[in-house]
A and B are shown apart, each in its own frame.
Chain A
């Protein structure tokens, strides 16, 4: 920032950067308060040193202990959930593409039986990627599709099954109940197959404070194991995941940086924080 002193203006600048990145007021203030205490303890006197220290702290906070996915079991199942339009179906295609390229046998389940054209959307991705898609007709029971898909996956020696679900707002009680039911069916079928189940929550990077509520309620309903943060190719910084990680300790695993199958990356705290503090593109 080219400043020579650590003063109120510097902290206000920091506040501005964080809030404009959607980190949120509460988390921003908490982070800055902690920073103020830390710099006393660490005897930090230069703005540049302070920025280095602060960014390192944030990166450490976002670091994940485990890798992205560990596919130790014969069958691994990823159930993908999130609000409407967040990028679930596209993220599924991207993940499928990645693991197919790594030689895994991948299968998709068209668990969004509700939205117009949702099944066809997944089928088109399946065709493009050369991956099997298990589907029933529009309006059928999502849990039944999931059940079918796990059975097929078992029968066909699939390594990775990814289950799409309909977008839903986390505040819609009946739809969240439906989601729980899908999860229960998957869990039950997985247990008898000695399969591993992982729930991936898709968050849109352009989302503001609402993402905290999304993460909380989806986590309460279906126990989220990881987050995919989509649409980071825009100008949004996605800072809300800092608040989410801070409050809920859910690891950020993947990021989406475009609409094509290859536009998927593992979440990298280093790059994420650099981008958060860079102005412009």
Chain B
């Protein structure tokens, strides 16, 4: 399970601290070194880890903590608090427009899981009584439209496409008309995967955003991503002011630290977790519960 390794390592460190009576500054430092290693091994970004550990050290090495009756408990408490800050609070829903249709836009790197997650979201929303429309705005990847159409067929939900020769901005605009004539209250835009440093392709997303003013822009991120997650999230957020993260491929043995980094760097919440290839494999993400699990609370 995601973060289980990190959880184990942190518990170990905490146990060692608890086993000590009085704490010396070097006890705390070596515990923090272990925390640092555990976070880095979980793919949390180097800079984020450094900042995180420094913050704890500042708070923990003070006189109040060291001279308190239960210094180990104090240090653990500080780590817990900072960890919870890092993860974020309770689950955040997607923005639903009071004036339908609600427009949701999926963006992200190539292969992160946008198209599949678009299908999963459509299913989830349809189960909640919405009438979603899937929109094929990826005109580049071979068979991307077909892929979305197959998902639409499986879900028995409409898919709007204008073929591969249309401009994604026009497709997004066109989908609004289609939605209103087909009684769809939710539009899910599947966009092509792209690199965050690809100027032209990033401008295309800005164009779509400008044209249809989405209620929710979800950055789809692969849970196995390493240190680069921060660059990716920062760029997408700067360009599009994203609303949240959908973290995919959580069903493997990824350590998932990238999620922590993205949250810390962008301040945007992780809203959903993809936990498999099937359309039912999507769950709301609860940062607070995840933090408790990591910390064994």
How distant is the Cα of A125 from the Cα of B142 in the complex, in angstroms?
A: 7
How distant is the Cα of A237 from the Cα of B225 in the complex, in angstroms?
A: 12
| 8 A Cβ contacts from B70-123 to A | 109-113, 115-116, 119
B113, A169: Cβ atoms closer than 8 Å: no
Residues of chain A within 8 A of B46, CB atoms compared: 16, 19-20
- B112's nearest neighbour on chain A, judged by CB, is A85
Smallest CB–CB gap between B34 and chain A, Å? 11
Does A58 sit at the interface, judged by CB under 8 A?
Answer: no
Does A222 sit at the interface, judged by CB under 8 A?
Answer: no
| 8 A Cβ contacts from A73-114 to B | 83-87, 114
A206, B225: Cβ atoms closer than 8 Å: yes
Please count how many residues in chain B sit with their CB below 8 Å of the partner chain's CB atoms.
Answer: 48
Interface string of A209-245 (1 = CB under 8 A from B): 1110100000000000000000101111100100000
Does B196 sit at the interface, judged by CB under 8 A?
Answer: yes
Interface string of B155-180 (1 = CB under 8 A from A): 00000000000000000000000000
Residues of chain A within 8 A of B111, CB atoms compared: 84-87, 204, 231
A210, B252: Cβ atoms closer than 8 Å: yes
Contact A117 to B224, CB < 8 A, known contacts A210-B253, A231-B110: no
B227, A21: Cβ atoms closer than 8 Å: yes
B227, A19: Cβ atoms closer than 8 Å: yes
Does B41 sit at the interface, judged by CB under 8 A?
Answer: yes
28 pairs, A vs B, C-beta closer than 8 Å: A22-B226, A24-B41, A25-B37, A26-B41, A84-B277, A85-B112, A85-B113, A85-B222, A114-B277, A116-B119, A117-B144, A118-B147, A121-B141, A128-B142, A138-B150, A169-B251, A172-B251, A172-B252, A204-B224, A206-B222, A206-B229, A207-B226, A209-B42, A209-B226, A234-B232, A235-B197, A235-B228, A236-B228
A124, B142: Cβ atoms closer than 8 Å: yes
Does B17 sit at the interface, judged by CB under 8 A?
Answer: no
Which residues of B are interface residues toward A (Cβ below 8 A)? 37, 40-43, 45-46, 109-113, 115-116, 119, 140-144, 146-151, 154, 195-197, 222, 224-229, 231-232, 249, 251-255, 257-258, 277
Does A5 sit at the interface, judged by CB under 8 A?
Answer: no
B144, A208: Cβ atoms closer than 8 Å: no
A171, B196: Cβ atoms closer than 8 Å: no
How distant is the Cα of A22 from the Cα of B46 in the complex, in angstroms?
A: 10
B143, A124: Cβ atoms closer than 8 Å: yes
Does A34 sit at the interface, judged by CB under 8 A?
Answer: no
Residues of chain B within 8 A of A66, CB atoms compared: none
How distant is the Cα of A19 from the Cα of B257 in the complex, in angstroms?
A: 13
A208, B252: Cβ atoms closer than 8 Å: no
Smallest CB–CB gap between B260 and chain A, Å? 12
A120, B143: Cβ atoms closer than 8 Å: yes
B252, A169: Cβ atoms closer than 8 Å: yes
Smallest CB–CB gap between B12 and chain A, Å? 16
Smallest CB–CB gap between A264 and chain B, Å? 15
Contact partner, B228, options A22, A114, A172, A233, Cβ 8 Å: A22
Smallest CB–CB gap between B226 and chain A, Å? 3
